[in-house]
Structure 1
């Protein structure tokens, strides 16, 4: 099963939540989700990718501090695209402040949910689910 990762940072003092957006204007690491795509109501398979190695790879590729990504186990979403399903993993960036410099070196940046308006509908749906989980809504 293919996968994508969505990274977020929640400020401890203000609860301000930001998502990492890549230079390709996607919040799905490391490739946008192919279209057409649909969010499934259920996990399609009992076979899922284990997030530990995936998140270690993301840390390395983004030059983030080792061990700074923590998977949100309650976030279990699958996207159906022609010919395959894609597992989506949500992970918190656990540093005190977002790693702005590291993100910028990769042509990425952090956005608030309100700045996500131009993203594809499937990414907006995934972000809405993430935001509700993170803020307990």
Structure 2
């Protein structure tokens, strides 16, 4: 059995509406924007990246498979790379964008979660708020 790619990686799922550029983030039922498990308690943004990290496309493909999507339904978002220090190691955080014109609202019950706006994320842990800020900046340029 292959190792779980999400042990040392997380993925933030977003939808950016191509016409209006409205950005929504997927909030999992765990209360985290990090898929597919929350960051460990006490996690903090790393001052510098670690060693070898998975290619974002590999993680995005694994995320699509976990969600039961075609691999073309998610795309790695270039320009975003983050590393979090947690539990004596590092976790790479990737950004994946839903490619459909509209967010897949009909799938959220099956996935366990919902789409939120940046302004709805205030209750998230500080490290996740920083990840969202960094992701938002990468998305809007």
Relative to the length of structure 2, the TM-score reads: 0.89
Match for residue 82 of structure 2?
Answer: 77
Residues in 2 aligned to 1:101 and 1:57: alpha-carbon distance in whole angstroms = 21
Deviation at 1:115, TM superposition (A): 0.5
Structure 2 Cα separation of the partners of residues 86 and 15 of structure 1: 29
Answering whether residue 42 of structure 2 is matched by residue 36 of structure 1, we say yes
SS of alignment partner, residue 67 of structure 1: helix
1:28 Cα deviation (Å)? 0.2
CA contact (8 A) 1:59 1:69 kept: yes
- Counterpart of 1:55 in 2: which secondary structure? helix
Aligned length: 135
- State the 4+ residue runs in structure 1 displaced beyond 3 angstroms: none
Which residue does the alignment assign to 1:94? 99
The 2-side partners of 1:63 and 1:44 are apart by 30
Moved more, 96-105 or 22-31: 96-105
Structure 2: where are the runs of 5+ without partners? 1-6
Kindly state the Cα deviation for residue 73 of structure 1 after the two structures are TM-superposed. Answer: 2.9
Query: What is the CA-CA distance between 1:84 and the residue it aligns to?
Result: 0.8
Match of 1:25 among 31, 35, 41: 31
Is contact 1:43-1:76 (8 Å) kept?
no
Unaligned runs of 5+ in 1: none
Counterpart in 1 of 2:139?
134
Distance 1:112 1:41 in 2: 27
Aligned mates of 1:124, 1:52 — CA distance in 2: 24
CA distance in 2, matches of 1:122, 1:33: 9
Q: 1:106 aligns with which of 103, 111, 114?
A: 111
